[in-house]
Homo-oligomer: A and B are copies of this chain.
Amino acid sequence: MIVALAGGVGGAKLAFGLSRVLTPEQLTVIVNIGDDFEHLGLHVSPDLDTVMYTLAGIANPETGWGLAGESWAFIQAVERLGGPIWFRLGDRDMATHVLRKQALASGQSLSAITTAFCRQLGIDCTVLPASDDPVRTTVRTDTGTLAFQDYFVRLRCEPVVRGFSFDGAERARALPAALAALADPALQAILFCPSNPFVSIDPILAIPGLRPAIAAARVPKIAVSPIIGGAAVKGPAAKMMAELGHDVSALGVARYYRGLIDGLVLDDVDIALAPDVQALGLKVAVRPTLMRSDTDRIALARTVLEIAKSWTSAS
């Protein structure tokens, strides 16, 4: 059994690969909810949606969010009525946010709704929000504190980042199914997907109980570096690292995750960093990690599972 911690794009891609290599019972994906927000009175869960859509094979391959073949009649009509259009909601994607909001308002939990959506979309592995309680990432910037989507979408990550907080995290209860998966005797590895450490992984770890459960698990904990050749594949991870004073490299990622993970998977282009990562006391594997196609995703999933197996037998 494998647990993967995931944010949006990068996490979803590796989760997709894992879902094609493992049986449904073998894979649990714990997904960040710090990006969630209420918009137009609806409940938007960007990372859950990206993971679901990617696993279902219906994600938009270009944008990294939303659905393939999406249309935009709704948001154009919102504009005609004078409504806000800075967060673009696609016509098909709207169904997810409308049904989710309605179900939440009727008392259903985010995890139960996610399970129902996954069933409808033909996803048979387990996809779990990190909590059923709200956690909201806010971004401290040079120009003030911003709600995550304000920073991420409306301001296009332009303000200089000084730090983050995860509102509600300290009161949020870790999802019992997530804690159970991390404590499962059949667990073989915990994977930190190539997601943003600050705004995808940290909001998960900020929820009481999850970090200790990860620490307590006697299995290899392996991160795949989201930084390749000093740049993020997608999103603001590299810009954030620079602004927060970290080394913008897989070595910076290794330092950030030190104490939490057993080892890091670096991309081939970062082979020169391997000795420095090892010097931190971490294991290292150097592999192709860029996922441009489904084939790449499946290959990386196999690679990471092999690494987990070899690190298990070695330890």
Contacts and interface: CB of A to CB of B under 8 A. Distances in A.
Interface of A: 40-42, 67, 70-71, 73-78, 80-83, 90-96, 98-99, 101-102, 105, 116-117, 119-121
Given A71-B91, A77-B95, A78-B99, 11 more contacts: A40-B98, A41-B98, A41-B102, A42-B98, A74-B91, A74-B94, A78-B98, A81-B96, A81-B99, A91-B91, A98-B98
B82 A96 contact: no
- Copies of the polypeptide in the assembly: 2
B77 A94 contact: yes
Contact of A96 (B75, B77, B94): B77
Closest 8 CB pairs of A and B: A77-B95, A41-B102, A73-B91, A77-B92, A91-B91, A78-B95, A82-B120, A83-B99
A270 to B, nearest CB: 40
Contacts of A120: 80-82
A92 B40 CA distance: 15
**Residue among A82, A116, A119 facing the most chain B CB atoms (10 A cut-off):** A82
16 contacts: A40-B102, A41-B101, A70-B73, A71-B91, A73-B73, A73-B91, A75-B95, A77-B91, A78-B99, A81-B96, A81-B117, A81-B121, A83-B98, A91-B91, A94-B94, A98-B98
A299 to B, nearest CB: 30
A276 to B, nearest CB: 47
- Interface of A, helix, strand, loop or mixed by DSSP: helix
A97 to B, nearest CB: 9
Contacts of A40: 98-99, 102
Contacts of A101: 41
A96 B90 CA distance: 15
**Residue among A70, A73, A101 facing the most chain B CB atoms (10 A cut-off):** A73
Contacts of A121: 80-81
Given A71-B71, A82-B120, A117-B81, A76 B92 contact: yes
A73 to B, nearest CB: 4
Contacts of A98: 40-42, 74, 78, 83, 98
A74 B102 contact: no
B105 A81 contact: no
